[in-house]
Structure 1
Amino acid sequence: MTRIDATFAKLRKDGKKAFVSYIMAGDPDYDTSLAVMKGLPGAGVDIIELGVPFTDPMADGETIQLAGQRALEGGMTLSKTLQMVRDFRAGDNDTPIVLMGYYNPIYSRGVDKFLADTQEAGIDGLIVVDLPPEEDDELCIPAQKAGLNFIRLATPTTDDKRLPKVLQNTSGFVYYVSITGITGAAAAQAADVAPEVARIKAQTDIPVIVGFGIRTPETSREIAGVADGCVVGSAIVSELAKGKGVDQVLSFVKTLADGAHSA
């Protein structure tokens, strides 16, 4: 059982929904992003998604793209991202961490070395948005053999014919993208999300977490109410982009987490 599996088991036992937060490693700088990361569990975050900055983030909107650019300009790399995880793990061995990004930096490092390094650093799961199920032998299967969850995205365009393929080797949770488009593009609507979540849950026992388009505690509560939890990324990254301090960012995160946990 991974930390992700254990977290969902505890949440189910407590009758609570999950709150997942995304931050970009190294944005606006290493020390600030590490300080935010260390504060997320205390702000109510159940699972941390840590973005690996990349030059061509095709699934991301302007907010996350700019965060990645700031991180890259500050010298952030995959190696430094893993070091950030090690620094976090020095004080927290319980909170699950999902590394989210694109395949190119992993390919450049070499899959075997990458998986060994992520295990050593304390990563629990991977979301690699540009590797479809047809490429599962490339990374998904080796990652699962190494004890990592491989989390797949399902979208409004994932029809009933495609869905079983998407779910085939997914573990940890299914990340349902609430809108058609890029991150930060539109507001999520619980009425639209609910039937899609039900459709996915009819085919899997894995928790379904909904992301994209969640910016307020109210939306966080509404979306978590029709799923197993929700993810917020762009709204949190936006607070950092505005120059908000660590405590201010964490206070904002807590309002979102409280929303999800009240569902």
Structure 2
Amino acid sequence: MEVGVRAEAYHEEGPNRHINSAFMTFEVLDDGGKPRTLPRIRPEPLEGQRRFQEATARKKIRLDRYVSSNTFVVQLCVYLSFNNVSALKMLAARSSWRLSCEKDQVQLYTLEQKSMLSFKIECEVDVPAHRAFDLLAELSNRPSWDSHYKKCELIQLVDNDDFIYRVVTPSVRHGAMGSPTAANQAKGILQDFILLASKRKPCGSGSVEPDPSTCVLHGHSYNRGEVLCAGFTILETKDNKSLISYFNQASPEVLPYISTDIAGLSSSFYHTFCSCSQYLTRNRL
């Protein structure tokens, strides 16, 4: 519902002087807090008809601006999502992964390419692949099993397969993931990421990939980091089990979280993946 406002300068003598006009759109809500459809309006003849037509034109202009802007965002996200999934599949297909450490059938692999360090964490879980896909694709559930995710909130639903999230983690300059330095603790500094999460099921048999990647923005009271390529692949194995693999190209913002794990000094990755396995098993049905 559009409401027009007219401001005038008042004079004791002579006509009032027009200062400004404004048009505001109000939304009428029902008892449940949802938008209510108003009765059709029949404008008054002449002046009322003119104002009604002008209001209709303004509404169309606003909608055209919104659709144009929103279409660009969707097209950009679709393009980035294609790159997300392609980059993850290429990273997963590399044959030169080196086993760094293993504990209770949870393996940590590393891959060095042109000054770029990538890592892969892998284990088998007793959960069907399609169910593991649904659980891991719901990124907002990750704080329930990953202690390194302090907060994960959905910012925008792009389409049925692509979502924009904001993730907050402790800021780590040295030490294992989840162990921020005393200086950063004292300052209350947090690291955050804006993630474009893409999930894709294969057309045929094979792996299934929900894949978060990032767009980098500037934040306040946070160190905003960048993830180059990261995500899960899920491969169905025998006895209705799944091989879960997590990949990450370690950017400077991510490397401090896993450096001690790769050096073999910490089992943080192991406990996180055990927690992930327990989350999947607990919600198997």
Bin for the TM-score computed over the shorter chain: under 0.3
Higher helix share: 1
> Which structure is higher in RCO with an 8 Å CA cutoff and minimum separation 6?
1
TM-score, normalisation: structure 2: 0.22
